Amino acid sequence: MNKKVDFIIIGQGIAGTWLAFQLIKQNKTVLIVDERNSNSSSRVAGGIYNPLIPKRQRLAYLAQEIYPSLSNDYQELEQFINEKVLFESPIQYILESQSDYNNWATLSQTEPFIQFVKLKDESLSPNILSPFGVIEILNSGWVNIPLLLDTFSKKIVAPNYFLNQTFDEDLLQTTGDKFQYQDFESNAIVYCVGNQIKALKHLENLTLKPAKGEVLTVQLNETFSNHIPQQGIFMLPINEQTFRIGSTFEWVDLSVEATVKGKTEILHKWQKYYTGDFKILEHKAGIRPSSKDRKPILGKIKPYHNVFVFNGLGSKGVALAPYFSKMLVDNMIHGRAIERDVEMGR
C-alpha cells in the first residue's frame, strides 16, 4: 500500500538530518533514503564548531548570527533524539609569536572579538608547547556527528520513514505534481547528498569544489578533557585518552583513500606543538562538499518547483546546517525568500 509523505530526503549527513528535523518540527512528514557511507564527510569530520578564524584575525562566516545560539539549536535536537551530542569545549588556539600575542591582547578587548575571545597564559599539559600563550575561543566546541546521525535515524518512525539504501533514480517516477519512490508518494524531493552529486540527473547543474580531508584517531598517555588545542591542526578529546587529530585540505586527489602524505602532514604540524607519546588507532579520509564561493547552496532546482537541494556546507557543516536548514524549510513551506548569496543558481 502507498505511504504518503510530504518530502523525500536523499542523504542523511548533517545536512539531511537537520533538514528532516526542521521539517518534522513543522509537522511535515519525511522519507529519508541514506546509504550509510562510512567515508561520508559527516562521519569522518571532527565535528568542531568555531566562530573565529584566528590566523586571519577575523570572525567566521555569519559568526554573530549563528554561534551564540548554536548550542540551544542542538539542545532542541538532543531532546528529540534523547541523546547528548554537543559538547561545549573551548578551542585553545596556540599563539605563534610575541606579535601574535600583542595583537590578540588588543583584539580580545575590541568589538566584535570581545564576545568570542579570551587571552590566556596557561598550557593544558606540559606536552603542549605554547610559549606565547593561547586564546580561548568562546561559543566553540564539538558535535559527535556519527552518534547524532545514528540516533536520529532510529527516531524516524511512522508517519516518517528511513530507508538504509542507495537511492535508485530509475525507481523515481513523476505523476503530475507527485513523486513515487518504491511504495512512497511525496509532494517534493530534497537532495542532501554531499559530494556524491555526479550520478544524479536532477543535480547535473550543481557544481562543487570539493576538498578532501584526512584525520587521525590517536591514543595518548594523558587526558585533558573539555578543551580543544589547535594551531593549524586540532586536537579533539573524544573520550579519556582518545583524541582526533586533523585535518588536511586537498583539492586534486579526491579519492576517499587515506594517504601516507596526509598522515605525514598531520603529524608534522601537530608535533610542532605536541611533544607527548601517542599511538595511531585509525586514519580516515572524507570529501568536504565545498562550493566555489565557500557558501552553502540551497533552494529550488530549476525548472522544477518541487525539487530542492541543500549542499555546499564545506568545512563548517556543524555550524551552518541548523541555520540554513531552517532557511530552506521556511522557503519550501512558507515561500520565504532564500538569501541571494546562498541560493542555488546564484
Among 92, 130, 247, 325, binds ligand FAD (CB under 6 A): 247
The smaller minimum CB distance to ligand FAD, of residues 22 and 37, is found at 37
**Cell numbers 569522518 correspond to what residue?**
44
Query: Is residue 15 a contact residue for ligand FAD (CB under 6 A)?
Result: yes
Query: Is residue 262 a contact residue for ligand FAD (CB under 6 A)?
Result: no
Interatomic CA distance for residues 287 and 53, integer angstroms? 21
Minimum distance of ligand FAD from residue 57's CB (angstroms)? 20
The smaller minimum CB distance to ligand FAD, of residues 108 and 136, is found at 136
- Near ligand FAD in 269-288, by CB under 6 A: 286, 288
Minimum distance of ligand FAD from residue 101's CB (angstroms)? 26
Site string for ligand FAD, 290-319 (x = CB under 6 A): ---------------------x-xxxxxxx
Q: Which three cell numbers stand for residue 28?
A: 511535515
Site string for ligand FAD, 56-95 (x = CB under 6 A): ----------------------------------------
Residue 88: CB atoms within 10 A of its CB come to 14
Minimum distance of ligand FAD from residue 52's CB (angstroms)? 13
Minimum distance of ligand FAD from residue 67's CB (angstroms)? 12
Minimum distance of ligand FAD from residue 79's CB (angstroms)? 21
Minimum distance of ligand FAD from residue 166's CB (angstroms)? 4
Tell me which stretch binds ligand FAD (CB under 6 A): 42-50, 70-78, 116-124, 335-343. 42-50
Query: Is residue 42 a contact residue for ligand FAD (CB under 6 A)?
Result: yes
- Near ligand FAD in 194-233, by CB under 6 A: 194-196, 213-215
Minimum distance of ligand FAD from residue 126's CB (angstroms)? 26
Which residues make up the interface to ligand FAD (CB under 6 A)? 10-16, 33-35, 37, 40-42, 44-49, 166-167, 192-196, 213-215, 246-247, 286, 288-289, 311, 313-319
